[in-house]
Amino acid sequence: SLQRTFIMVKPDGVKRGLIGEIIKRFEQKGFTLLNAELMTIDRSKAEYHYMEHQEKPFFGELVDFITSGPVFAMAWEGENVIEVSRLMIGKTDPSEAMPGTIRGDFAAAKEENVIHGSDSLLSAEREIENFFGLLKRRSLEDDF
């Protein structure tokens, strides 16, 4: 079904100049970019984004890292984009991520793994709203 997902190039990916490469892969796959912004996020936005990891021992470091420099936040739309984008991104731990995936090709450590992608419909909606506010409803009939 037609879905939206939240994709974010993390501070390590921005510093390494991977924004263009990542946009290119999503465009080549045929997904539609709905919104994008380079931004440095505060701790409250980061904590809300990572709420499901609140109890993890690495939560503090995760928030430190994601607020350490600019991220490139994006909303993408397409058929089954949530699941397909996670296949394109690859496993969390880059040592297990397949070559050809974004993490398999570009990441070296699980703490700094270049990119985030929503893991469910519910988290996609929450994450898009956290970063962009309520997204204008855009459908294929809209001319833009």
Q: Which residues are catalytic?
A: 116
Neighbours of 124 (CB within 10 A): 22
86 carries a ligand binding annotation: yes
Helix (H, G, I), strand (E, B) or coil at 59: helix
Determine the Cα–Cα distance for residues 131 and 126; give it in Å rounded to an integer: 9
Shortest approach of ligand CMP to residue 57 CB, angstroms?
A: 7
Query: CA-CA distance, 142 to 139, in Å (whole number)?
Result: 5
* Coil, helix or strand at residue 34: strand
Cβ-based nearer residue to ligand CMP, 36 or 62: 62
Footprint of ligand CMP on 58-87 (CB under 6 A) = 58, 61-62
Q: How far is CA 84 from the centre of its chain?
A: 13
User: Shortest gap between Cβ of 47 and ligand CMP (angstroms)?
Assistant: 13
To the question of whether residue 80 is assigned a binding role by annotation, the answer is no
CA distances from 79 to 5, 16, 93 (A): 11, 30, 26
Task: Check residue 126 for interaction with ligand CMP (CB under 6 A).
Answer: no
Select from 11-19, 54-62, 78-86, 127-135 the region that touches ligand CMP (CB under 6 A): 54-62
Site string for ligand CMP, 82-111 (x = CB under 6 A): ----------x-----------------xx
- Residue pointed to by tokens 């990542």: 22
Q: Looking at residue 101, what DSSP letter applies?
A: B
Annotated binding-site ranges for ATP: 10, 58, 86, 92, 103, 113
Query: Which spans of this chain sit near ligand CMP (rule: CB under 6 A)?
Result: 53, 58, 61-62, 92, 110-111, 113, 116
